Chains A and B, each alone.
Chain A
Amino acid sequence: GQQLNQSPQSMFIQEGEDVSMNCTSSSIFNTWLWYKQDPGEGPVLLIALYKAGELTSNGRLTAQFGITRKDSFLNISASIPSDVGIYFCAGQTSTGANNLFFGTGTRLTVIP
């Protein structure tokens, strides 16, 4: 299946710093999604992107759907301790189907 390369694999940052992570694919996606997963819980949807070039914000989070439709990035501004967790990108390739291809995840640690 499609492979999504997500980087970095892990990040250690000071509280208040900005964070950037990205996802690239060899295939084109019609939709990009960003999820956050806390220990013992399922992934929680953060941002959904539906159009190439789209830039969407959700509070301190901003994500963009790459023009080529093969990449996306997520930025977190002014990080806080509760931002700790694993962030996953996910892509959907076709309409009429909800199977997602997930990235390998970025583990974020915020140091107070």
Chain B
Amino acid sequence: KAGVTQTPRYLIKTRGQQVTLSCSPISGHRSVSWYQQTPGQGLQFLFEYFSETQRNKGNFPGRFSGRQFSNSRSEMNVSTLELGDSALYLCASSLRLEPVSPLHFGNGTRLTVT
């Protein structure tokens, strides 16, 4: 069974630009979550989607947004990039919301903002 797939693996952008990251969950998984990982802040929750609806959102500015498609694939978008947005962005999928099921992570997209 294929794991969580994230594309691209690496991105370099300049300040002010926008970026879209893509995530394909494990087949059959309907929940997709996004996390930001930085050396200073660690792993922080961005948002979660289930059945094409955002169910939870972390404490990130509105420049960070996402969506989920009917096939459970998800994208996240960051607009007006700032230097501090440089991070590893991780997508995780899980089977369901209730009862809670473990999250399985992809290998991430490393975003560098210059």
Interface membership of A104, Cβ < 8 A: yes
- Say yes or no: A42-B100 contact (C-beta < 8 A), given A98-B33, A98-B94, A101-B45: no
Complex contact A99–B100 (CB within 8 A): no
C-alpha gap A90/B90 in the complex (Å): 15
Interface membership of A33, Cβ < 8 A: yes
Interface membership of B112, Cβ < 8 A: no
Instruction: Count how many chain B residues have C-beta atoms less than 8 Å from C-beta atoms of the other chain.
Output: 29
**Chain A residues with CB below 8 A from B43, complex form:** 43, 88, 90, 100, 102
Complex contact B105–A33 (CB within 8 A): no
Complex contact B45–A43 (CB within 8 A): no
C-alpha gap A35/B45 in the complex (Å): 15
Complex contact A40–B107 (CB within 8 A): yes
Specify which of A33, A35, A40, A95 is in contact with B97 (CB 8 Å cutoff).
A95
Complex contact B42–A42 (CB within 8 A): no
Contact with A along B30-65 (1 / 0, CB 8 A): 010101000000111100100000011011000000
**Chain B residues with CB below 8 A from A103, complex form:** 42
C-alpha gap A48/B99 in the complex (Å): 13
Complex contact B106–A95 (CB within 8 A): no
The count of A-to-B residue pairs whose CB atoms sit within 8 angstroms is 71
C-alpha gap A100/B56 in the complex (Å): 11
Complex contact A44–B105 (CB within 8 A): yes
- Say yes or no: A42-B108 contact (C-beta < 8 A), given A48-B102, A99-B48: yes
C-alpha gap A102/B101 in the complex (Å): 16
Complex contact A42–B90 (CB within 8 A): yes
Complex contact B58–A97 (CB within 8 A): no
Complex contact A96–B98 (CB within 8 A): yes
- With both beta carbons as reference points, the residue of chain A lying nearest to B97 in the complex is identified as A96
Q: List 10 A-B contacts (CB under 8 A).
A: A33-B103, A45-B102, A92-B100, A95-B97, A95-B98, A95-B99, A98-B31, A98-B101, A98-B103, A101-B45
Having A97-B97, A98-B100, A102-B44, one finds 7 other A-B pairs with CB under 8 Å, namely A42-B6, A43-B90, A48-B102, A97-B56, A98-B103, A100-B45, A104-B42
